[in-house]
Amino acid sequence: MRFRLVVVLSMLVLMTACATTPTGRSQMVFMPDNEVDAMGLQAFTDMKNEKQMSQDTRENQFVRCITDAITHEVGGEWEVVVFEDKTLNAFALPGKKIGVHTGLIDLVDNQDQLASVIGHEIGHVLARHSNERMSQKLGAQIGISLIAAVAAPQTPMGQTALGLLGVGTQYGVLMPFSRLHESEADSIGIDLMAKAGFNPAESITLWRKMAQASQGSQPAEFLSTHPSHETRIHDLQERMPKATALMQQARAAGKKPNCVK
């Protein structure tokens, strides 16, 4: 009897946990979205309290201009913060939070290159990648307990929570998204930036610049959860005809962002 009950409950969990990403991929998610959003909010609040935020008006206007154009395509009110940090990084968290490091702003040449990164990071949120990997790694019961753990980032459980969300580099525990998640975010992101009127071809330039900036420090693809720069560029090139068509449609509809660095 107990075994049958476990089987029935397991089937119910699997049925209720089945979801579909924006690319049409089936995924298993156990965590309630509002709980994951709460974790994202807590993590973002902690970062704002602990990290220096840029007061440079030009930098903030540049980033805000780009994020406004892209988030207009997905809806909702997104909070955006530029952090004084020389690392080449940007992130988006559940709960509609976006962080951009000044080091990445320094690297890009134009609005389209930064839009490709921001579109990619928002893609992670839209595809519920944080929820999916929390579900995979921890299961619902343990995952829910991580909500409180985010508020104590120096604890082992807190570090795990931040790592699964996609932040935590300041604690040395960043858990990178899988190759599947990275590739899916690339796919969603390039379409998003194109729908907002940005030039998707600049995503290729951006990743070439990132490859050059890494100066060979990226491990071989089979040793890494991330796609190699070459694989990422190849996949983006394959999607370029569709993305270019989306950009042309957007510009014909009057979407012509003009964000000046």
Known catalytic residue: 35? no
DSSP 3-state assignment of 92?
strand
Out of 121, 182, 184, 202, which one is annotated catalytic? 121
Name the pairing type of β-strands 26-28 and 97-101: unpaired
Give Dmax over CA atoms of the chain in angstroms.
67
Tell the residue number behind the tokens 């899916």, with chain if given: 184
pLDDT digit string (tens) for 122-173? 999 999 888 887 776 665 444 445 555 555 555 655 565 555 565 544 433 3
pLDDT digit string (tens) for 60-101? 999 999 999 999 999 999 999 999 999 888 999 999 999 999
- The Cβ of residue 231 has, within 10 Å, a number of other Cβ atoms equal to 15
Is pLDDT above 90 for 36?
no
Determine the residue type at 185: A
Is pLDDT above 70 for 13?
no
Residues 83/47, Cβ–Cβ less than 8 Å: yes
Highest mean pLDDT of the ranges 15-24, 154-163, 181-190, 228-237: 181-190
Closest CA to 123 of 21, 214, 227: 21
Model confidence at 210, pLDDT cuts 50, 70, 90, reads confident
